[in-house]
A and B are shown apart, each in its own frame.
Chain A
Amino acid sequence: MVQLFFTALPSEARSIIEALGLYKDPGYQPIPLYRNESVLLAVTGVGKIRSAWSVGYVFGRERLGEDVIALNIGVCGGASRSIEIGQCYRINQITDYASGKTVYPDILFKHNLSELPLTTVDKPVLSGGEEFESLVDMEAFGFYTAASQYLKAHRLICLKIVSDHMDGPRLTRTYVSSLIQKNLKSILDVADQYQGRPLPDTRILNREELALLKDLNRYLRLTKTQSIQLERWAVRCKIHNDMVLPRLEEFKQISVNTKHERNMHLEEIRQRLAE
Chain B
Amino acid sequence: MRRSGNDWLNDFSHIYLEPGVEEYFLGRKILENFPASVRISIPDYKIIFNRSNQHFQTQKRSMKLILALKKPPYLYPLSETVQGGGFRNRYYVTPIMNCLFNCDYCYLQGMYPTANILVFVNNEDLFRATEIALGNRSEKEDPVYISLSYNTDLLAFENLVPICRSWIEFTRKVEDLVIEIRTKSAFFHVLEEEEPLDRVVLAWTLSPAEVIRKYEHGTPPLEKRIRAVQRAIRRGWKVRLCIDPILGIPNWDGIYASFLEDVFSRLPVKGIRDVTLGVFRMNPTYYKRIMKQHPRADLFYDQIEITEGSVTYTPQLKERINKSILKQLSSCLPDHIPLLWI
Contacts and interface: CB of A to CB of B under 8 A. Distances in A.
A195 B3 contact: yes
Given A109-B9, A201-B58, A202-B294, A92 B302 contact: no
Interface stretch (B28-36, B49-57, B74-82, B229-237): B49-57
14 contacts: A102-B47, A104-B42, A109-B9, A110-B8, A152-B53, A153-B53, A154-B54, A189-B1, A193-B3, A197-B3, A200-B60, A235-B301, A239-B296, A239-B298
Interface string A148-179: 10011110000000000000000000000000
Contact of B293 (A104, A197, A201, A232): A201
Contacts of B55: 152, 154, 199-201
B58 A110 contact: no
A152 B301 contact: no
B342 interface: no
Interface in A206-258: 232-233, 235-236, 239-240
Nearest to B60: A200
B5 interface: yes
A93 interface: yes
A214 to B, nearest CB: 18
Nearest to B43: A102
B199 interface: no
B215 to A, nearest CB: 12
Given A104-B51, A200-B57, 15 more contacts: A104-B40, A104-B47, A104-B48, A106-B59, A108-B61, A109-B8, A110-B7, A110-B9, A154-B54, A154-B59, A192-B3, A201-B55, A235-B301, A239-B301, A240-B298
A189 B208 CA distance: 43
Contacts of B13: 107
Give the size category of B's interface with A.
Answer: 20 to 34
Nearest to B297: A239
B58 A93 contact: no
Contact of B296 (A151, A153, A195, A204): A204
A117 interface: yes
Interface in B124-181: none
A60 interface: no
B58 A107 contact: no
Interface in A115-164: 115, 117, 148, 151-154
Contact of A108 (B62, B293, B297): B62
Contacts of A235: 301
B38 A115 contact: yes
A235 B296 CA distance: 9
Contacts of A200: 55, 57-58, 60-61, 293-294, 296
Nearest to A194: B3
A27 interface: no
Nearest to A191: B1
A192 to B, nearest CB: 4
Interface of B: 1-3, 5, 7-9, 13-14, 16, 38, 40, 42-43, 47-48, 51, 53-55, 57-62, 64, 293-294, 296-298, 301-302
A104 B14 CA distance: 11
Contacts of B47: 102, 104
Contacts of A233: 301
Interface residues of A, number: 34
Contacts of B297: 239
A236 B301 contact: yes
**Which 7 residue pairs of A and B lie closest in terms of their CB atoms, listed nearest first?**
A236-B301, A200-B57, A196-B2, A201-B55, A108-B62, A192-B1, A110-B7
Nearest to B302: A236
Nearest to B296: A239
A167 to B, nearest CB: 26
Contacts of B302: 236
Nearest to B48: A104
Contacts of B40: 92-93, 104, 117
Given A107-B9, A115-B38, A239-B301, A201 B53 contact: no
B301 A195 contact: no
Contacts of B59: 106, 108, 154
Given A109-B8, A195-B3, A196-B3, A152 B54 contact: yes
A115 B37 CA distance: 11
A154 B63 CA distance: 12
Contacts of A189: 1
B58 A154 contact: yes
Contacts of A108: 8-9, 58-59, 61-62
Central interface residue in A154, A195, A236, by most chain B CB within 10 Å:
A154
A199 B58 contact: yes
Nearest to A235: B301
A174 to B, nearest CB: 29
Central interface residue in A104, A197, A236, by most chain B CB within 10 Å:
A104
B51 A204 contact: no
A203 interface: yes
Contact of A201 (B38, B48, B57): B57
A256 B241 CA distance: 55
Interface string A71-102: 00000000000000000000011000000001
B60 to A, nearest CB: 8
B54 A106 contact: yes
Contacts of B301: 232-233, 235-236, 239
B298 A197 contact: no
A199 B59 CA distance: 10
A92 B51 CA distance: 15
A109 B53 CA distance: 18
Interface string A176-192: 00000000000001001
